[in-house]
Amino acid sequence: MRALVLDRPARAARDPLRQEARAELDPAPDDLVLEVAACAVCRTDLQIVEGDLAARQLPIVPGHQVVGRVAKVGRDVVGWREGDRAGVAWLASTCGVCDQCRGGRENLCRAARFTGWDVDGGYATEIAVRADFALRLPDGFDDFAAAPLLCGGVIGFRALERSGITPGGRLGLFGFGASAFLAMQVARSWGCEIHVRTRSGREQQRATELGAESVGPYGDPTPPLDAAVTFAPSGDVVLAALRSLDRGGTLAINAIHLDRIPEFPYEWLWWERTIRSVANFTRDDARRFLELAASIGIHTAIQTFPLAEGNDALRRLANGELDGTAVLVT
């Protein structure tokens, strides 16, 4: 097998991933081995590669939005067979016995492990995954279109739910990358009035084409919002969204890494406004989102790269040069 390996975090401009030939994988008793068809590139991958997120294991193969076919089945696995299509997402495993896991909050398990951070991910021609964390994928999406759904799509869906937005409500999306692009399509299916704020003129145009009620830079005012979600890892953006909330509104911060939130007046938070973080997602989130994505015909915008050009894909993501989600193709 071939894999792109990170030995030490470094800026994407320095081509931190090296290509390596490895032995073919054999599954543990509870695992599947997939032949990777596609792996979407996520901003979290970039944050791991560049060291904004502290490394959990080195060397590591990044990538956690993986689509492939089952090549080998562990001896204790039931319900999967060779040739099945499967997805691999961020959540690689949990303990299954703690209060969080038993309470339906496995995304908060202290023993959780994550694909491309704790265990090798999908920037490779093969990947091993615990069978009970592999995901069934809707038939309506080909491999390349399905890959971006597996993190940006699912976490955007969870962020909408955490924001408390209800059908027909007034929603703000602050930042408009790959995850917000998919979240907006969900919110539109719920009949929401959507206001998008982003510094990118290209992203503003895309939001307009999707039917946003208004678009503009972060400093532009919005009508009072029932709920908002931030997608940019910037504390300044969090404050721009908070200032836009109506009384009783909720802001969901969709970020695994965020720079410092600047000091702000209490009046922006008063009147029972709420700030909530979004931490990972559960397998139930993923299943419900994938079912919804198929039912409403979500569209993913992608830009494909050969696996060997993974460094180039990360560099373009860092520089804001992508037209859609980068997808590495094997």
User: Which residue segments constitute the domains of the chain, with CATH numbers given?
Assistant: 2-141+300-329 (3.90.180.10), 153-277 (3.40.50.720)
Would you say residue 34 has pLDDT above 90?
Answer: yes
pTM: 0.95
Q: What share of the chain is helix, strand, coil (3-state, %, to 5)?
A: 30, 25, 40
d(CA 237, CA 261): 9
- pLDDT digits over 268-327, tens only? 999 999 999 999 999 999 999 999 999 999 999 999 999 999 999 999 999 989 988 999
Q: Which residue has the tokens 């911060």?
A: 253
Which residues have a Cβ under 8 Å from the Cβ of 315 and sit 6 or more positions away?
12, 13, 15
Q: Which tokens sit at 269?
A: 């938070």
Mean of the pLDDT values across residues 183-211? Answer: 96
**Nearest 5°: phi and psi at 12?**
-60, -30
d(CA 201, CA 217): 8
- pLDDT digits over 269-283, tens only? 999 999 999 999 999
Q: Report yes or no: 68 and 88 within 8 Å, Cβ to Cβ.
A: yes
Identify the H or E element spanning 48: helix 43-50
- Alpha carbon 302 to chain centroid distance? 14
- pLDDT digits over 61-97, tens only? 999 999 999 999 999 999 999 999 999 999 999 999 9
- pLDDT digits over 229-245, tens only? 999 999 999 999 999 99
Provide the pLDDT for residue 323: 85
Q: Look at residues 175, 139, 178 and name the one whose alpha carbon lies nearest to residue 155.
A: 178
**Nearest 5°: phi and psi at 315?**
-65, -40
Residue length of the chain: 330
Q: Is 40 helix (H, G, I), strand (E, B) or coil?
A: strand
- The C-alpha angle with vertex 47 and arms to 300 and 100, in degrees rounded to 5, equals 80
Q: Which tokens sit at 260?
A: 């410092």
Q: Report yes or no: 123 and 60 within 8 Å, Cβ to Cβ.
A: no
Q: Which tokens sit at 183?
A: 């979240």
Q: Which residue has the tokens 């909330």?
A: 245
Radius of gyration of the chain (CA): 19
d(CA 112, CA 132): 14
- Alpha carbon 262 to chain centroid distance? 25
Average pLDDT across the chain, whole number: 97
Would you say residue 188 has pLDDT above 90?
Answer: yes
Query: 61 to each of 116, 137, 297, how far by Cα in Å?
Result: 6, 23, 31
Cis status of the peptide bond prior to 233, with omega within 30 of 0: no
